[in-house]
């Protein structure tokens, strides 16, 4: 299975990275931007991405 992690709007990359660090911090994963993600469990890494998606969907739905 091939994954494509490119950002559709390149100008949004900085905002997404900042959002990722904020979510990780709220989940108790400190220094997320500077740690080796390979040292985190799949659950920890997945929790960050999952929470990001959950919040983006909630934000979108609140604007409908």
Query: Each residue of 1-54: pLDDT tens digit?
Result: 556 777 788 898 899 999 999 999 999 998 998 999 899 999 999 999 999 999
Within a domain: residue 2? Answer: no
Q: What is the pTM of this model?
A: 0.80
Q: How many CB atoms lie within 10 A of CB 24?
A: 23
What was the pLDDT predicted at 2? 58
What was the pLDDT predicted at 1? 53
What was the pLDDT predicted at 6? 77
Task: Quote the domain boundaries for residue 24.
Answer: 11-62
Distance in angstroms between the alpha carbons of the first and the last residue of the chain = 33
Within a domain: residue 3? Answer: no
**Number of domain units in the chain:** 1
Within a domain: residue 1? Answer: no
Q: Report the C-alpha gap between 33 and 13 in whole angstroms.
A: 14
What was the pLDDT predicted at 25? 95
Q: Report the C-alpha gap between 59 and 36 in whole angstroms.
A: 30
């Amino acid at each position: 299975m091939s994954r494509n992690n490119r950002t559709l709007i390149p100008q949004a990359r900085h905002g997404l990275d900042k959002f990722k660090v904020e979510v990780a911090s709220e989940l108790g994963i400190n220094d997320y931007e500077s740690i080796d993600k390979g040292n985190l469990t799949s659950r920890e890494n997945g929790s960050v991405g999952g929470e990001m998606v959950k919040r983006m969907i909630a934000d979108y739905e609140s604007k409908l």
